[in-house]
Chain A
Amino acid sequence: MDQYTKAYGEVKDKDIAIKIAKTHLLLRDYTKSVNWFNRVLSKDKANKYLEERFLYGRALKMAGSTTEAAAEFKTYIETGADPNLKAWAETELKELS
């Protein structure tokens, strides 16, 4: 994690920021995960990181930001590619709405 953070500080690579966000999610630091996902996804107008929106929704939900989480799950249901994650996002949205 420290090496990823150091590398991001040097090159500001979005892929590294996403890796850091996913690692924080695995380590169950949801607030930090949300912050790192948000750093990339809030500016991802071209939807390059569409598949990451589901995990961003999970991080938001577990950080207690349920309205924002529901919006991310909705986006994933409408535009995501993985049918399993879409089904999972629908389950998540059902409970959040």
Chain B
Amino acid sequence: MSALDPIDRRLVVETQAGLPLVAEPYAELGRRLGISADAVMTRLERLAASGAIRRIGVIPNHYALGYRANAMTVWDVDDRAVSELGKLVGGMACVTHCYRRPRRPPLWPYNLFAMVHARDRAEVDGMTVAIGRVLGGHARAHDVLYSTRILKKTGLRLAA
């Protein structure tokens, strides 16, 4: 991973929060950072190429577009198999995010997280069955957690 200089870091925070909706957004970002529009674009290209920025684009609100059932499916998968199976689950079209995280027994026995967005809970049920099939006998237990309310959602902040 290439190191980010202080201007890169500010640029990442600014672009993550949102491009200014003006005709020349990169020039506007450049004014805030004290660099030219060309320098902003060159840096963004480099940050995208290095993977620090995944993508730049419009970010729709799934919920407002009718994807009202947002579920976190969680699985207790054998540690020896989780990396290989995680890649398979992460490749499924219905899965938007897929992560390995630590278990915290006894409250939390799950180590594989697969997020799905669907129009309703029946559709989520179908996706959960499909993920379960991919995991086969390696998943000892699973659960599906629906989000019922967004209590706070803001862009990335870097508090000191």
- Please determine whether chains A and B interact with each other in the same assembly: no
